[in-house]
Amino acid sequence: MSFDPRTAVTDPDAWEALDQWTDVPAVDDLPDELIVFSAHPDDETLGVGGLLARAGAAGTPVRLVVAAACDPERLDELDAALSALGLSIPDPALTCDDTAPSVVALGLPDGALKHHASELRAAIADALDAPSGAQDRLVLAPWTGDRHGDHRTLGREVVAAARERGLRVMLYPVWLWQWGTPADVPWRRVREVVLTPEERIRKRAALARFSSQLRTPATPDGVLEPGFVARAADGREAVIEPPEPAEQHFERMHRELGDPWSVRSRWYERRRRAVLTASLPRERYGRAIELGCSIGETTAVLADRCDELVAVDGSASAVEAAAARLRDHANVVVERMRIPHEWPAVPGGADLVVVSELAYYLAEDDWDAVIDRILGSLNPGGEVLLCHWTGDSDDFAQPGEAAHARFRERSELRAAVVHRDEEFVLEVLR
């Protein structure tokens, strides 16, 4: 599904009437401090404006960091919106009131946060490490499943930084309500902010302050449709617990499920393996590397085409299963590694590197590092096979298609084989 802020996929009334809300717990009492990150001015108001109004009424300290779209008009609108929520912005030269909200505007390029990961991480660290007397702090950021690149990037980086510091973190959806369907929602991780009539009044008034973004006859280029804004004001407000860290997630899945993606039985997986092996231009390869081998099913078919094969995965349980699967293949070594920080040693270099169903879990800078590692291991004339599902998930750091495009751009290798269908894309580059 393409991202279109002006097209509603699910009717607002349908969202409100869902049976799933019956089992969704409510957000507990306010923390001692809120640290809120938004990709753009208005994200925080659309997503958790009611919760911010509650904080304003309670005198709870609020810190807000806005990453992009920080032109003066947008920031003036944000100032007015926060005031409408009961969060008055003080002049630092005139007051030392530490219960009033502090706003940091980073001014990073709109739509390009993924290209500024180091600056973004530094700013997030500054905000989370700022002196605070609060014992219970809650960090809020855009939901990584919003299918907006800036929301995905900011949410992912905030979650990682907050977890490093032992801080509670929740994610707020914005565009989910416009483009999403109930099937997109991780309901077991959803918490509802049950708003009072006064909080709704304040949220509605705050949203009206973003006049440059509202689509009206006077501002036809505004991205916020009237129905979308009305749903934000009158509909349910929710936050989502982030998924567990990737390393723990994949280890738990392999440990508990054995074959977490049903790679041995699902037709998608069996077909993908068949297409993958049929797409390799050479009948035989000398030395090869497979990144993200999981339980070793693709490894087994690659082993029949390679003299030597090193397969790696970050999950200890996956490596154990793959090693057992391949114990009769003397030409295969299976190792546990956390790429890109660790990398397989292949004396003499690799003639083939296979990256399948992995790159979309890597942030752009980590993927860049993997690309560089691959190029450093690849022999002249060597080949790289990339294969990825074209769907989406809220734990993806980037779309599979984007990872392929980035590899082509950074490596300057050319595609010798391309297969693309409605489920996955495969390329062999050399």
What's the average model confidence in pLDDT over 1-7? 58
What's the average model confidence in pLDDT over 36-49? 97
Indicate whether 217 belongs to any domain: yes
Q: Are 221 and 316 found together in one domain?
A: no
Q: Are 222 and 300 found together in one domain?
A: no
Burial class (CB in 10 A: 0-12, 13-18, 19+), 274: exposed
Q: Are 22 and 85 found together in one domain?
A: yes
Is 70 exceeded by the pLDDT of residue 2? no
Distance CA 142, CA 153 (A): 9
Range of the domain at 350: 248-429
107 Rama class: left (phi>0) / alpha (psi -120 to 50) / beta: left
What is the amino acid identity at position 339?
Answer: I
Q: Quick one: pLDDT band at residue 248, thresholds 50, 70, 90?
A: confident
132-147: burial string, b at 16+ Cβ within 10 Å, e else = eeeeebbbbbbbbbbb
Number of domains in the chain: 2
Q: Quick one: pLDDT band at residue 57, thresholds 50, 70, 90?
A: very high
Q: Are 306 and 177 found together in one domain?
A: no
Indicate whether 342 belongs to any domain: yes
What's the average model confidence in pLDDT over 5-23? 89
Check residue 69 and give its pLDDT.
Answer: 87
pTM of the predicted model as reported, rounded to 2 decimal places: 0.72
Indicate whether 354 belongs to any domain: yes
Taking only the tens place, the pLDDT of each residue in 93-139 is 333 344 446 899 999 999 999 889 889 999 999 999 999 989 999 99
What's the average model confidence in pLDDT over 278-305? 98
CB 328 within 8 A of CB 364: no
Q: Quick one: pLDDT band at residue 243, thresholds 50, 70, 90?
A: confident
Check residue 88 and give its pLDDT.
Answer: 62
Is 80 exceeded by the pLDDT of residue 48? yes
Is 70 exceeded by the pLDDT of residue 418? yes
Indicate whether 315 belongs to any domain: yes
CA of residue 188 relative to chain centroid, distance? 18
Q: Are 230 and 260 found together in one domain?
A: no
Check residue 96 and give its pLDDT.
Answer: 37
Is 90 exceeded by the pLDDT of residue 46? yes
What's the average model confidence in pLDDT over 219-244? 90
Indicate whether 331 belongs to any domain: yes
Distance CA 125, CA 287 (A): 42
Q: Mean pLDDT of all residues in the chain? A: 92
Check residue 51 and give its pLDDT.
Answer: 98
What percent of the chain has a predicted confidence (pLDDT) above 70?
95
Taking only the tens place, the pLDDT of each residue in 324-366 is 999 999 999 999 999 999 999 999 999 999 999 999 999 888 8
φ, ψ for residue 300, nearest 5 deg: -65, -40
Region of poorest pLDDT, from 199-208, 239-248, 338-347 = 239-248
Q: Which of 182, 207, 242 is the last residue of a domain?
A: 242
Q: Are 199 and 222 found together in one domain?
A: yes
Check residue 5 and give its pLDDT.
Answer: 58
Taking only the tens place, the pLDDT of each residue in 268-278 is 999 999 999 99
